[in-house]
Structure 1
Amino acid sequence: MHATPASAGPPDGTAARYDAVVVGGGHNGLTAAAYLARAGRSVLVLERLDHVGGAAVSARPFTGVDARLSRYSYLVSLLPRQIVTELALPLELRRRRFSSYTPVGDGGLLVDTGSDDVSRASFRSLTGSDADFEAWQRFYAGTAAVARRLFPTMTEPLVSRDEARALVGDDATWRTLFEEPIGAVLRRTFADDVVRGVAATDALIGTFADVDEESLRQNRCFLYHVVGNGTGDWDVPVGGMGAVTGALRDAALAAGATIRTGAEVTAVDPGAPGADAEVAWADADGRAHGVRAGHVLAGCAPATLDRLLAASGAAPVGDDTAPEGAQLKVNMLLTRLPRLRDGVDPVAAFAGTFHVNESLTQLQAAYAQAADGKIPDLPPSEIYCHTLTDPSILGPSLREAGAQTITLFGLHMPTRLFRDDPDGARDAALAATLRSLDSVLAEPIEDCLALDADGKPCLEVRTPVDLEGDVGLPGGHIFHRDLAWPFAESDDEVGRWGVETAHDAVLLAGAGARRGGGVSGIPGRAAAMAALGA
């Protein structure tokens, strides 16, 4: 997804002045650029890599293999239909028939969104009664009600905490999600440890936390995983994640934005109140450039913005907490899906989210080991198969042969485990994760791996340290920093957009904004609205 030569703008940007300069060409930066350019503003996007998209890209990671995988992020839930409509994005998002499958011993738990009867029977087989299925139905009916009422506010100025509580309209559900650690809630709600764990994973994806933390950052993570578009559904982007950012890039360019790739921002001077900001950047050949802007929209992480501000002697906008990612990402191409012990059709098992050793007890044990600086003995993870829903990312010969891609997202793999020995720790984490996966299959996953043109297994693994180097995420944190509640937490935030900083000309436009996290475009749109004075 390279910017075309025509979009590169004048060869010497030293004297240029734009209404807005966007730092970072990830999906949020592109969203901001598209909105601003459509409003008639002059916009320059500066991206240090040779392509736009950030962590929301598609790539062919395996030599000589015609398979375009969503390399980092992979599903879409939080992207509002409002943004898709307003920017006229030609996107197709497909719903998955099955919600999840969790193998347990010689059986498993299948949650079928298309059939309550199938789900009830599976719960009964696992737990011996209907009690947890009925509790599941009640619990997720509550989260669905919250999603319907709260998600529409995500594209509006911030409401107060009291206003958000009034919108939810159910004090018991409010306390459950917003005031009490999710661990206590799940233990009280469900009797079975596996059922508790399946629910708990949404509180831990990308967040290194104990389910019982008083900070409730695990609750905030859970909330963002269940509110998307008022349903909480996680959909498959047809064509892969690159189709999402490709559409955003095209919308920005069509509206008149200028995109420069291979342009690394080196400093941001916010300027005096009422004056232009200044942005220093270097091109791919190391030549220095400068540009003035009415607003600087930081599609990068707050920690990255602070470094850029410090380079000009300006005050930081973030906090002193170093971001820490907590995931292992493994991409695989298989010749076929693996067999399961209980004989469940692998198509049903892998069409939704496939949970690996994610009972609540297993999740807590893995967290304790990782917090102690050790790679968990039995790493919990979850898997999804893009090609069961959208085979278009495979070349014709792979489709005809029945090949499938699977993405494994490993939990409780914090950055601290990989800092001292990135390569050795990556190998050890991968080995432990594959052992964990094999423990719930009827055959080793290695038997199903395709080979690339060099005869190597089609398997790619990325740690938080890798993400830091690949796409500039500080600490490899996929949310840029811990998620925040999607409403104002102080009186001066009410009615604002959650993107403002201590510098009038500088706005957060990435996942580190108040309503950031996930592939959503919400912070990018919010930053554009703030810059436009909406």
Structure 2
Amino acid sequence: MSASPFPGVRLSRYSYLVSLLPDQIVSDLGLRLTLRSRSVSSYTPLERDGVHTGLLVGGSGTAASFRALTGSDSEYVRWQDFYAAMALVAQAVAPTMLEPLPDRAALRDLVTSAAGQDAWRWVFEQPLAQTLEEVFTDDAVRGVVATDGLIGTHTSLADPDLAANRCFLYHVIGNGTGDWRVPVGGMGAVTGELARVAREAGADLRTNAEVVGIAADGTTAEVTYHHSDTEVTVAAHHVFSGVAPAVLDRLLGRPARPSAPGAQLKMNLLLDRLPRLRSGVRPEDAFAGTFHLDETYTDLETAYRESAEGRPPTRPPGEMYCHTLTDRSIVDSPTAHTLTLFGLHAPDTLFDTPGTQDVLVSRYLEGLNRYLLDPIESCLATVDGAPCLEARDPRDLEAELAMPRGNIFHGPLTWPYGTAWGVETDIPNVLRCASSTQRGGGVSGIGGHNAAMSLLRPAAADGRLAG
């Protein structure tokens, strides 16, 4: 996860921000981490009636930006009211993430007591599209809110399955604030600290070791792996699995269950300088937070329909992050900048057609250049004459990280209610960790924590919250 895409850059090829990692886990493990908040929440460039403009969220200019875009203060008031309610939802749900799962009635009581019935309905009961159309009036504002429901999730905002709602929930509840922070030193600082405390606690970490088989009967277990051209089998009382369910099936000698599609294109860029924008907003502000590219409500639904029909979106939506505006330590050059794009609605099936990745990369660059005075290609750094731009699609994630179909969540995200800890399998001494758990997904540590607690605090499950 912490492999660097370019020489001299300490930027993870795949992970980028931290939101769901609870402060309690950082404290319990004694992790020496600095997670820094960004100076701006987001910027959305727009062209309306031939005029380049945009919406800047974060800081003292937010109200004025809403007013300039929409012509009144009404939409900003709606924005404030909605996110005040989401903050209360986060404060209610976040403390339950490191405890046995509450049942649905108990979680509903927590949320409605804190944030009201409307907040519960907006997130847990009706499609996100219905919520957006009920609460907001501006197409761009609706889109900014909607993107949190579509990260790595290929769905319509109107789908009654509420997949977008579940994705949205996990993007706004992290640590009770929903704040997405930059790990100082890059994502490698997070993995490095986890390795340090594990070793100090007596763990024997084996890298470059591929697990090839698991045998478990509910009481005893054996894990077989390849390391340095040697096959090694170790005995264990319990096995914690951080792989996708289909991979675990294969390791257990079972037929692999179907995998849900991944749906993203990741692009990493290294720039000599930040490009200027046609809207006139300073690039240091536009790129300091999340830069929303072609992510209006209409853009998002159009891109979903096109991709669901098997066509690369004409205007592919994505969001960009410039980590160097928050943490200069991740690059050796004092003037270079990193730029990361996370593209939406790029299901793995699109890449059955050769050349799809190149098509999408080209369309993303064209889309970005619509809003720039300086073409992004003119800002790219080079190494040995080659421009510093790389792309990874779902097929690359499957090949490089063993994530079936490139699904970054290992499967559909689930609601944070149910029974026990949400880490159990049908074999009592084989437990799930990481993204495949009931409350998995993202850089959080929650799955591993809850798997450990299911052994250390087995009696706690009997006292879980119940309605």
TM tier relative to shorter chain: over 0.9
Cα RMSD for the two superposed structures: 1.2
* 1:443 CA drift (Å): 2.5
Aligned equivalent of 1:334, options 271, 278, 288: 271
CA contact under 8 A between 1:109 and 1:126: conserved in structure 2? yes
Residue 503 (1) aligns with residue 445 (2): no
CA contact under 8 A between 1:295 and 1:531: conserved in structure 2? no
Residue 303 (1) aligns with residue 246 (2): yes
Aligned equivalent of 1:130, options 73, 78, 82: 73
Residue 426 (1) aligns with residue 357 (2): yes
In the alignment, what sits opposite 1:43? Answer: none
Q: TM-score, normalised by structure 1?
A: 0.83
CA distance in 2, matches of 1:440, 1:468: 33
In the alignment, what sits opposite 2:399? Answer: 469
* 1:532 CA drift (Å): 2.6
* 1:442 CA drift (Å): 2.0
Residue 392 (1) aligns with residue 329 (2): yes
Aligned equivalent of 1:406, options 339, 342, 356: 339
Q: Deviations over 1:146-170 (max 9, x none)?
A: 0011101101111111111111122
1:341 counterpart SS class:
coil
In the alignment, what sits opposite 2:149? Answer: 203
CA distance in 2, matches of 1:322, 1:185: 29
CA distance in 1, matches of 2:410, 2:352: 18
Residue 161 (1) aligns with residue 85 (2): no
CA distance in 2, matches of 1:185, 1:440: 29
CA distance in 1, matches of 2:33, 2:455: 26
Q: Deviations over 1:492-530 (max 9, x none)?
A: x1xx21101111010001201001000000001111111
Residue 277 (1) aligns with residue 221 (2): yes
CA contact under 8 A between 1:280 and 1:290: conserved in structure 2? yes
1:529 counterpart SS class:
helix
* 1:420 CA drift (Å): 4.4
In the alignment, what sits opposite 1:8? Answer: none
1:406 counterpart SS class:
strand
After superposition, where does 1:123-272 map in structure 2 within 5 Å?
123-168=66-111, 169=113, 170-271=116-217
CA distance in 1, matches of 2:315, 2:224: 47
CA contact under 8 A between 1:58 and 1:240: conserved in structure 2? no
Matched letter for residue 146 of structure 2: A
Q: Deviations over 1:44-65 (max 9, x none)?
A: xxxxxxxxxxx3x141x23xx4
> Which one is further off, 128-137 or 412-421?
412-421
Matched letter for residue 150 of structure 1: V
In the alignment, what sits opposite 2:259? Answer: 322
In the alignment, what sits opposite 2:464? Answer: none
* 1:292 CA drift (Å): 1.5
CA contact under 8 A between 1:374 and 1:417: conserved in structure 2? yes
Q: Deviations over 1:225-260 (max 9, x none)?
A: 000000000000000011001100111111001111
CA distance in 2, matches of 1:143, 1:366: 27
2:287 counterpart SS class:
helix
2:373 counterpart SS class:
coil
1:407 counterpart SS class:
strand
1:408 counterpart SS class:
strand
CA distance in 1, matches of 2:293, 2:371: 7
Name structure 2 gaps, 5 residues minimum: 459-467
* 1:425 CA drift (Å): 1.7
1:483 counterpart SS class:
coil
Matched letter for residue 168 of structure 2: F
CA distance in 2, matches of 1:288, 1:94: 43
Matched letter for residue 347 of structure 2: P
In the alignment, what sits opposite 1:416? Answer: 349
In the alignment, what sits opposite 1:439? Answer: 370
Name structure 1 gaps, 5 residues minimum: 1-54
Matched letter for residue 150 of structure 2: L
In the alignment, what sits opposite 1:517? Answer: 441
Residue 81 (1) aligns with residue 23 (2): yes
Aligned equivalent of 1:102, options 44, 66, 81: 44
CA contact under 8 A between 1:357 and 1:436: conserved in structure 2? yes
2:352 counterpart SS class:
coil
* 1:323 CA drift (Å): 2.2
Aligned equivalent of 1:449, options 380, 386, 389: 380
Matched letter for residue 96 of structure 1: R
Q: Give 4+ residue runs of structure 1 displaced > 6 Å after superposition.
A: none
CA distance in 1, matches of 2:360, 2:154: 16
Q: Deviations over 1:383-437 (max 9, x none)?
A: 0100000000111xx11xx21111011111111111343xx22111211111111
* Residue identity (%): 53
CA contact under 8 A between 2:279 and 2:371: conserved in structure 1? no
How many residue pairs align between the two structures? 451
CA distance in 1, matches of 2:365, 2:249: 38
* 1:362 CA drift (Å): 0.5
* 1:284 CA drift (Å): 3.6
CA contact under 8 A between 2:439 and 2:446: conserved in structure 1? yes
CA distance in 2, matches of 1:172, 1:303: 37
Q: Deviations over 1:318-362 (max 9, x none)?
A: xx4322111111011111111101111110110000000100100
Matched letter for residue 304 of structure 2: Y
* 1:176 CA drift (Å): 0.7
CA distance in 1, matches of 2:82, 2:372: 30
CA contact under 8 A between 1:356 and 1:440: conserved in structure 2? no
* 1:289 CA drift (Å): 2.1
